[in-house]
Structure 1
Amino acid sequence: MKKLFILTSLTFSVAAFAAPSSEGTENEINSGLYNIDFRAGNGKIYCGGDAKTSDLAQGISCLTEIKGKPVLPRPKDCDLEWGGTFFLGKTGKADMVCHSDFPFNPKARILKDGETVKGNGWQCTASGSEVTCSNQDKHGFKVSQKMQKLF
């Protein structure tokens, strides 16, 4: 069963994809949900890690608007957005997430090529138009707008 990721604390419109770039700046706002906010893939991949509250899934989540078919089929119990959100806990396998809101900071700083962010049991590294996140079990995901891979 896929994780159902419904976040109601703070929402941003999907129009945030069109938000102007704030490359090279510090976080101007905080999503309120995550201790760590960043963007990768030239600002087109939004990520939030280590949720501030224990009732939310702990780990790293990243969202991007994918071009093409999702790597996994939509679960029957997902009536929300599907295909561009990925989750990885500090242990276990990566998964795709059914979600309703945009809980990410649209003005989070953009990682430089080769830059790594580390959280509680996970790390993500930016490389060109993609980001690769892995956990202490060596599971993870590699995502760009054109490619998705779970490992």
Structure 2
Amino acid sequence: MRLSFLALAPCLSLAAPVAAQDYVTFHSPSGNIHCAMHARNYVAVRCDILEGTLSFPQRPADCDLDWGRAFEVGAAGPGQPICHGDTVIHNDSPVLPYGQQIAFGPFTCTSEMSGVTCTNQGGHGFTLRRAAQQVF
């Protein structure tokens, strides 16, 4: 289990040149899924889901923080639910419209009407939907 402590970051426009930035944030058009993509120092994508049926409801014994609504994938290895005491939810972050994707560092996230999928260059990541969350 991975413990994540991402600080809330100022929102950046997806229209800005992302190559010079450390991170970008966005949320789904429904506002149910919020994400932060980091490409320096801490290299990972994390997304939090506000509402939905939890696919990972069993909190690990060593997690005494929040569980089941935050997911992360690093530059290598599979995606995973994380134990967290913070959030990447920021209502002022830009919307990633359905059918669009953003590539940042070694990551790509795609927004669809059914949910958000984020992957690393190895093809690992997660998909978050109201009905279920999947890591791979």
Same fold (TM over 0.5): yes
Partner of 1:31: none
Q: Please provide the CA RMSD for this pair.
A: 2.2
Are the aligned partners of 2:39 and 2:106 in contact in 1 as well (CA < 8 Å)? no
Q: Determine which of 81, 85, 106 is the counterpart of 2:66.
A: 81
Partner of 1:113: 98
Structure 2 residue 49 is the aligned partner of structure 1 residue 49: no
Please give the alpha-carbon distance, in whole angstroms, between the structure 1 residues aligned to 2:71 and 2:118. 10
Structure 2 residue 48 is the aligned partner of structure 1 residue 63: yes
* SS of corresponding position for 1:83: coil
Q: Determine which of 110, 128, 131 is the counterpart of 2:113.
A: 128
Please give the alpha-carbon distance, in whole angstroms, between the structure 1 residues aligned to 2:129 and 2:66. 17
Give 1:112's aligned amino acid.
Answer: P
* SS of corresponding position for 1:134: strand
Partner of 1:6: 5
Please give the alpha-carbon distance, in whole angstroms, between the structure 2 residues aligned to 1:37 and 1:104. 9
Please give the alpha-carbon distance, in whole angstroms, between the structure 1 residues aligned to 2:118 and 2:53. 21
Are the aligned partners of 2:23 and 2:39 in contact in 1 as well (CA < 8 Å)? yes
Please give the TM-score of this superposition, normalised by the length of structure 1: 0.73
Partner of 1:100: 85
Please give the TM-score of this superposition, normalised by the length of structure 2: 0.81
Partner of 1:138: 123
Larger strand share, 1 or 2: 2
| Post-superposition offset of 1:119 | 1.3
Q: Determine which of 18, 28, 34 is the counterpart of 1:40.
A: 28
Please give the alpha-carbon distance, in whole angstroms, between the structure 1 residues aligned to 2:28 and 2:129. 9
| Post-superposition offset of 1:77 | 0.8
How many residue pairs were aligned? Answer: 126
Gaps of 5+ in 2: 15-21
Please give the alpha-carbon distance, in whole angstroms, between the structure 2 residues aligned to 1:140 and 1:41. 21
Give 2:111's aligned amino acid.
Answer: A
Are the aligned partners of 1:117 and 1:123 in contact in 2 as well (CA < 8 Å)? yes
Please give the alpha-carbon distance, in whole angstroms, between the structure 2 residues aligned to 1:119 and 1:100. 25
Task: Classify 1:149/1:10 alpha carbon distance in 2 versus 1 (closer, same or farther; 3 Å).
Answer: closer
| Post-superposition offset of 1:135 | 1.0
Are the aligned partners of 2:3 and 2:84 in contact in 1 as well (CA < 8 Å)? yes
